[in-house]
Amino acid sequence: MNAHLPWIVAKFGGTSVSSVESILQIIEIVKQYRKENRQTLIVVSAFSGVSNVLESIINGPEQVNIDETCTWLEQKHRSMLTQLDLSSPRLEQLLYDKLNFIREAHARLMDEQLASFYATQAAVMGIGEQLSSAFFRDFIERRLSENVSLTDARDWLVSESAEHRSVADRYLNAECDVKLNKTMRQQIEALGAVVITQGFIASNACGETVVLGRGGSDTSAAYFAVMLGAERLDIWTDVPGMFSGNPRQIPEARQLRKLDYKEAQEIASTGAKVLHPRCLRPVRIADIPVFVGSTFSREK
Ligand code: ASP
Ligand code: MG
Protein backbone atom coordinates (compact mmCIF):
# COMPACT_ATOMS: atom_id res chain seq x y z
CA MET A 1 0.00 0.00 0.00
CA ASN A 2 1.20 3.54 -0.72
CA ALA A 3 2.57 5.54 2.17
CA HIS A 4 -0.16 7.92 3.20
CA LEU A 5 0.23 11.69 3.00
CA PRO A 6 0.89 13.38 6.34
CA TRP A 7 -2.11 14.68 8.27
CA ILE A 8 -2.45 18.10 9.84
CA VAL A 9 -5.21 18.51 12.39
CA ALA A 10 -6.28 22.15 12.46
CA LYS A 11 -8.63 23.50 15.09
CA PHE A 12 -10.44 26.77 14.54
CA GLY A 13 -11.98 28.44 17.60
CA GLY A 14 -15.30 30.24 17.92
CA THR A 15 -13.99 33.72 17.14
CA SER A 16 -12.10 32.41 14.09
CA VAL A 17 -15.23 30.86 12.59
CA SER A 18 -17.50 33.80 13.30
CA SER A 19 -16.41 36.60 10.98
CA VAL A 20 -16.27 36.44 7.22
CA GLU A 21 -12.84 38.03 7.24
CA SER A 22 -11.41 35.41 9.52
CA ILE A 23 -13.20 32.59 7.69
CA LEU A 24 -11.51 33.73 4.49
CA GLN A 25 -8.20 33.41 6.32
CA ILE A 26 -9.14 29.85 7.19
CA ILE A 27 -9.64 29.10 3.51
CA GLU A 28 -6.13 30.43 2.81
CA ILE A 29 -4.69 28.31 5.61
CA VAL A 30 -6.35 25.16 4.28
CA LYS A 31 -5.21 25.97 0.71
CA GLN A 32 -1.67 26.23 2.03
CA TYR A 33 -1.92 22.81 3.67
CA ARG A 34 -3.11 21.36 0.39
CA LYS A 35 -0.29 23.07 -1.50
CA GLU A 36 2.13 21.41 0.89
CA ASN A 37 0.43 18.09 0.14
CA ARG A 38 -1.05 17.65 3.58
CA GLN A 39 -4.33 15.97 4.30
CA THR A 40 -6.31 18.11 6.69
CA LEU A 41 -8.80 17.38 9.42
CA ILE A 42 -10.51 20.62 10.39
CA VAL A 43 -12.00 20.72 13.88
CA VAL A 44 -14.41 23.58 14.53
CA SER A 45 -15.98 25.19 17.57
CA ALA A 46 -19.45 26.64 17.72
CA PHE A 47 -19.98 30.19 16.45
CA SER A 48 -18.92 32.70 19.09
CA GLY A 49 -21.38 33.21 21.93
CA VAL A 50 -23.43 30.14 21.05
CA SER A 51 -22.02 27.79 23.71
CA ASN A 52 -22.54 30.47 26.38
CA VAL A 53 -26.19 30.73 25.43
CA LEU A 54 -26.63 26.95 25.36
CA GLU A 55 -25.00 26.80 28.78
CA SER A 56 -27.46 29.36 30.13
CA ILE A 57 -30.31 27.11 28.97
CA ILE A 58 -28.98 23.99 30.66
CA ASN A 59 -27.86 25.70 33.86
CA GLY A 60 -30.99 27.72 34.56
CA PRO A 61 -33.87 26.43 32.48
CA GLU A 62 -36.37 28.21 34.77
CA GLN A 63 -34.67 31.59 34.36
CA VAL A 64 -34.40 31.40 30.60
CA ASN A 65 -36.97 32.86 28.24
CA ILE A 66 -36.74 30.06 25.72
CA ASP A 67 -38.50 31.96 22.93
CA GLU A 68 -36.08 34.86 23.16
CA THR A 69 -33.11 32.54 23.49
CA CYS A 70 -34.08 30.50 20.45
CA THR A 71 -34.67 33.68 18.49
CA TRP A 72 -31.14 34.79 19.37
CA LEU A 73 -29.71 31.44 18.29
CA GLU A 74 -31.72 31.50 15.09
CA GLN A 75 -30.62 35.02 14.22
CA LYS A 76 -26.99 34.26 14.99
CA HIS A 77 -27.00 31.26 12.63
CA ARG A 78 -29.12 32.96 9.98
CA SER A 79 -26.73 35.86 9.93
CA MET A 80 -23.87 33.42 9.26
CA LEU A 81 -25.88 31.82 6.45
CA THR A 82 -26.48 35.24 4.93
CA GLN A 83 -22.96 36.56 5.38
CA LEU A 84 -21.49 33.42 3.84
CA ASP A 85 -24.18 33.28 1.18
CA LEU A 86 -24.93 29.71 2.17
CA SER A 87 -28.69 29.44 2.51
CA SER A 88 -29.93 26.08 1.31
CA PRO A 89 -33.03 24.04 2.19
CA ARG A 90 -30.75 21.46 3.83
CA LEU A 91 -29.05 23.91 6.20
CA GLU A 92 -32.36 25.72 6.91
CA GLN A 93 -33.89 22.38 7.85
CA LEU A 94 -30.93 21.49 10.05
CA LEU A 95 -31.24 24.79 11.92
CA TYR A 96 -34.99 24.30 12.31
CA ASP A 97 -34.54 20.76 13.66
CA LYS A 98 -31.85 21.76 16.13
CA LEU A 99 -33.89 24.68 17.44
CA ASN A 100 -36.85 22.34 17.94
CA PHE A 101 -34.62 19.93 19.76
CA ILE A 102 -33.43 22.72 22.08
CA ARG A 103 -37.01 23.79 22.87
CA GLU A 104 -38.05 20.28 23.62
CA ALA A 105 -34.95 19.59 25.74
CA HIS A 106 -35.55 22.83 27.63
CA ALA A 107 -39.05 21.65 28.55
CA ARG A 108 -37.61 18.36 29.80
CA LEU A 109 -34.85 20.06 31.81
CA MET A 110 -37.50 21.93 33.84
CA ASP A 111 -38.05 18.59 35.57
CA GLU A 112 -35.10 18.11 37.89
CA GLN A 113 -36.14 14.52 38.49
CA LEU A 114 -35.55 13.79 34.81
CA ALA A 115 -33.60 10.52 34.66
CA SER A 116 -31.56 11.62 31.68
CA PHE A 117 -30.88 15.11 33.06
CA TYR A 118 -27.13 15.25 32.35
CA ALA A 119 -27.49 13.44 29.04
CA THR A 120 -30.01 16.06 27.98
CA GLN A 121 -27.72 18.87 29.14
CA ALA A 122 -24.83 17.43 27.12
CA ALA A 123 -26.99 16.95 24.05
CA VAL A 124 -28.00 20.63 24.17
CA MET A 125 -24.40 21.79 24.65
CA GLY A 126 -23.33 19.83 21.58
CA ILE A 127 -25.68 21.59 19.17
CA GLY A 128 -23.44 24.60 18.48
CA GLU A 129 -20.64 22.55 16.92
CA GLN A 130 -23.07 20.43 14.90
CA LEU A 131 -24.44 23.58 13.28
CA SER A 132 -21.15 25.39 12.71
CA SER A 133 -19.47 22.31 11.20
CA ALA A 134 -22.32 21.72 8.75
CA PHE A 135 -22.35 25.38 7.66
CA PHE A 136 -18.62 25.40 7.39
CA ARG A 137 -18.38 22.29 5.28
CA ASP A 138 -20.53 23.83 2.57
CA PHE A 139 -18.57 27.06 2.64
CA ILE A 140 -15.13 25.48 2.52
CA GLU A 141 -16.10 23.09 -0.21
CA ARG A 142 -17.34 25.92 -2.37
CA ARG A 143 -14.16 27.93 -1.86
CA LEU A 144 -11.69 25.10 -2.26
CA SER A 145 -13.15 23.50 -5.35
CA GLU A 146 -12.32 20.14 -3.84
CA ASN A 147 -14.53 17.66 -2.09
CA VAL A 148 -14.87 18.39 1.65
CA SER A 149 -16.50 15.75 3.84
CA LEU A 150 -18.15 16.16 7.19
CA THR A 151 -17.63 13.40 9.69
CA ASP A 152 -19.36 13.18 13.05
CA ALA A 153 -16.82 13.38 15.87
CA ARG A 154 -19.08 11.11 17.94
CA ASP A 155 -18.36 8.25 15.54
CA TRP A 156 -14.67 8.38 16.50
CA LEU A 157 -14.30 9.78 19.98
CA VAL A 158 -15.72 7.54 22.68
CA SER A 159 -15.40 8.71 26.26
CA GLU A 160 -13.94 6.66 29.06
CA SER A 161 -16.53 5.11 31.32
CA ALA A 162 -14.74 6.70 34.34
CA GLU A 163 -16.93 5.13 37.04
CA HIS A 164 -15.02 7.08 39.69
CA ARG A 165 -16.19 10.41 38.28
CA SER A 166 -19.54 12.09 38.94
CA VAL A 167 -22.31 11.50 36.44
CA ALA A 168 -22.27 15.22 35.64
CA ASP A 169 -18.56 15.06 34.78
CA ARG A 170 -18.98 11.98 32.67
CA TYR A 171 -21.47 13.84 30.47
CA LEU A 172 -20.21 17.41 30.63
CA ASN A 173 -16.48 17.06 31.22
CA ALA A 174 -15.82 13.81 29.46
CA GLU A 175 -12.38 12.47 28.67
CA CYS A 176 -11.26 9.97 26.05
CA ASP A 177 -8.32 7.65 26.12
CA VAL A 178 -6.86 7.67 22.62
CA LYS A 179 -4.06 6.07 20.70
CA LEU A 180 -2.96 5.79 17.08
CA ASN A 181 -5.79 4.14 15.17
CA LYS A 182 -4.78 3.08 11.67
CA THR A 183 -8.19 1.70 10.82
CA MET A 184 -9.77 5.01 11.62
CA ARG A 185 -7.09 6.79 9.61
CA GLN A 186 -7.88 4.67 6.58
CA GLN A 187 -11.58 5.32 6.97
CA ILE A 188 -11.06 9.06 7.28
CA GLU A 189 -8.66 9.03 4.35
CA ALA A 190 -11.38 7.40 2.29
CA LEU A 191 -13.51 10.52 2.90
CA GLY A 192 -11.06 12.75 1.05
CA ALA A 193 -8.07 14.98 1.72
CA VAL A 194 -10.05 17.68 3.52
CA VAL A 195 -12.39 16.51 6.23
CA ILE A 196 -14.23 18.56 8.80
CA THR A 197 -15.54 17.53 12.19
CA GLN A 198 -16.90 19.02 15.40
CA GLY A 199 -14.82 19.99 18.38
CA PHE A 200 -16.15 19.52 21.90
CA ILE A 201 -18.43 16.52 21.31
CA ALA A 202 -17.87 12.81 21.74
CA SER A 203 -20.08 9.85 22.51
CA ASN A 204 -20.14 7.46 25.44
CA ALA A 205 -20.23 3.68 25.30
CA CYS A 206 -24.05 3.83 25.10
CA GLY A 207 -23.88 6.07 22.04
CA GLU A 208 -25.13 9.18 23.86
CA THR A 209 -23.62 12.61 23.22
CA VAL A 210 -21.14 13.85 25.80
CA VAL A 211 -19.03 17.03 25.81
CA LEU A 212 -15.43 17.56 26.83
CA GLY A 213 -15.89 20.63 29.05
CA ARG A 214 -15.95 24.30 28.04
CA GLY A 215 -13.13 25.12 25.67
CA GLY A 216 -12.78 21.40 24.93
CA SER A 217 -12.41 21.68 21.15
CA ASP A 218 -8.65 21.96 21.57
CA THR A 219 -8.72 18.62 23.31
CA SER A 220 -10.89 17.12 20.56
CA ALA A 221 -8.30 18.25 18.03
CA ALA A 222 -5.49 16.76 20.15
CA TYR A 223 -7.36 13.43 20.35
CA PHE A 224 -7.80 13.37 16.57
CA ALA A 225 -4.13 14.28 16.04
CA VAL A 226 -3.10 11.29 18.15
CA MET A 227 -5.53 8.88 16.51
CA LEU A 228 -4.45 9.92 13.01
CA GLY A 229 -0.76 10.02 13.92
CA ALA A 230 -0.74 13.61 12.63
CA GLU A 231 2.43 15.38 11.67
CA ARG A 232 1.31 18.48 13.60
CA LEU A 233 -1.58 19.92 15.56
CA ASP A 234 -2.38 23.50 14.63
CA ILE A 235 -4.58 25.45 17.01
CA TRP A 236 -5.87 28.58 15.30
CA THR A 237 -7.36 31.11 17.64
CA ASP A 238 -7.62 34.87 18.14
CA VAL A 239 -4.19 35.27 19.73
CA PRO A 240 -0.94 34.37 17.98
CA GLY A 241 0.70 31.77 20.20
CA MET A 242 1.24 31.34 23.89
CA PHE A 243 1.78 34.33 26.15
CA SER A 244 3.05 34.93 29.64
CA GLY A 245 -0.49 36.04 30.57
CA ASN A 246 -3.86 36.41 28.92
CA PRO A 247 -3.06 38.87 26.09
CA ARG A 248 -6.74 39.77 25.78
CA GLN A 249 -6.54 41.27 29.27
CA ILE A 250 -2.88 42.04 29.89
CA PRO A 251 -1.49 44.09 26.98
CA GLU A 252 2.09 43.76 28.22
CA ALA A 253 1.94 39.94 28.22
CA ARG A 254 4.99 38.56 26.40
CA GLN A 255 4.69 36.21 23.47
CA LEU A 256 6.65 33.00 24.05
CA ARG A 257 8.31 31.76 20.91
CA LYS A 258 9.02 28.14 21.54
CA LEU A 259 7.94 26.07 24.52
CA ASP A 260 8.24 22.50 25.57
CA TYR A 261 5.06 20.66 26.53
CA LYS A 262 5.70 21.16 30.22
CA GLU A 263 6.03 24.94 30.00
CA ALA A 264 3.03 25.10 27.71
CA GLN A 265 1.05 22.94 30.13
CA GLU A 266 1.90 25.28 33.00
CA ILE A 267 0.70 28.26 31.04
CA ALA A 268 -2.44 26.47 29.89
CA SER A 269 -3.22 25.47 33.47
CA THR A 270 -2.66 28.93 34.89
CA GLY A 271 -5.50 30.37 32.91
CA ALA A 272 -3.97 32.02 29.85
CA LYS A 273 -7.03 30.48 28.17
CA VAL A 274 -5.30 29.84 24.88
CA LEU A 275 -5.30 26.08 25.22
CA HIS A 276 -7.72 23.80 27.01
CA PRO A 277 -5.77 22.35 29.94
CA ARG A 278 -6.41 18.75 28.88
CA CYS A 279 -5.29 19.22 25.29
CA LEU A 280 -1.54 18.89 25.73
CA ARG A 281 -1.21 15.57 27.50
CA PRO A 282 -2.28 13.33 24.60
CA VAL A 283 -0.07 15.13 22.07
CA ARG A 284 2.87 15.16 24.47
CA ILE A 285 2.64 11.42 24.91
CA ALA A 286 2.43 10.91 21.14
CA ASP A 287 5.16 13.51 20.58
CA ILE A 288 3.14 15.57 18.12
CA PRO A 289 4.24 19.22 17.76
CA VAL A 290 1.64 21.88 18.48
CA PHE A 291 1.52 25.21 16.71
CA VAL A 292 -0.68 28.00 18.06
CA GLY A 293 -1.49 30.73 15.56
CA SER A 294 -3.94 33.55 15.03
CA THR A 295 -6.35 33.72 12.13
CA PHE A 296 -6.37 37.48 12.81
CA SER A 297 -2.67 38.16 12.29
CA ARG A 298 -1.27 35.35 10.27
CA GLU A 299 2.43 34.65 10.40
CA LYS A 300 4.25 31.45 10.93
N1 ASP B 1 -17.83 25.66 21.97
C2 ASP B 1 -17.27 25.09 23.19
C3 ASP B 1 -17.07 26.19 24.20
O4 ASP B 1 -17.22 27.35 23.89
C5 ASP B 1 -16.01 24.36 22.94
C6 ASP B 1 -14.86 25.19 22.43
O7 ASP B 1 -15.08 26.25 21.87
O8 ASP B 1 -13.72 24.78 22.57
O9 ASP B 1 -16.74 25.90 25.30
MG1 MG C 1 -15.81 28.11 22.13
Nearest ligand 1 atom to the CA of 218 is 8
Helix (H) or strand (E) holding 226: helix 217-228
The model carries a pTM of 0.92
Return the ligand 1 atom nearest residue 220 CA.
8
- The percent of the chain in helix, strand and coil, each rounded to the nearest 5, is 45, 15, 40
- CA 92–ligand 2 middle distance (angstroms): 23
Spell out which residues line ligand 1, taking CB within 6 angstroms.
Answer: 13-14, 45-46, 51, 128, 199-200, 214-217
Ligand 1, atom 5: closest residue by C-alpha:
215
pLDDT tens digits, 173-209? 999 999 999 999 999 999 999 999 999 999 999 999 9
Which of 47, 76, 197, 200 best tests ligand 1's pocket when mutated (most atoms within 8 Å of CB)? 200
Q: How far is the CA of 216 from the centre of ligand 1 (A)?
A: 6
How far apart CA 120 and CA 209 sit, in angstroms, is: 9
- Whole-number Å distance between alpha carbons of 216 and 275: 9
**Which atom of ligand 1 approaches the CA of 276 most closely?**
8
- Whole-number Å distance, alpha carbon 2 to ligand 1 midpoint, is 37
Q: Nearest CA to 9 among 275, 298, 289?
A: 289
pLDDT tens-digit map of 205-244? 999 999 999 999 999 999 999 999 999 999 998 766 666 6
Q: From first to last of its 300 residues, what are the pLDDT tens digits of the chain? A: 446 799 999 999 888 888 888 899 999 999 999 999 999 999 999 999 999 999 999 999 999 999 999 999 999 999 999 999 999 999 999 999 999 999 999 999 998 888 899 999 999 999 999 999 999 999 999 999 899 999 999 999 999 998 899 999 999 999 999 999 999 999 999 999 999 999 999 999 999 999 999 999 999 999 999 999 999 999 998 766 666 677 677 777 766 667 777 777 776 666 556 788 899 899 999 999 988 887 776 554
- Say which ligand is closest to the CA of 214: 1
Q: Which residues contact 93 (CB under 8 A, 6 or more apart)?
A: none
Q: Which residues partner with 291 through β-bridges?
A: 234
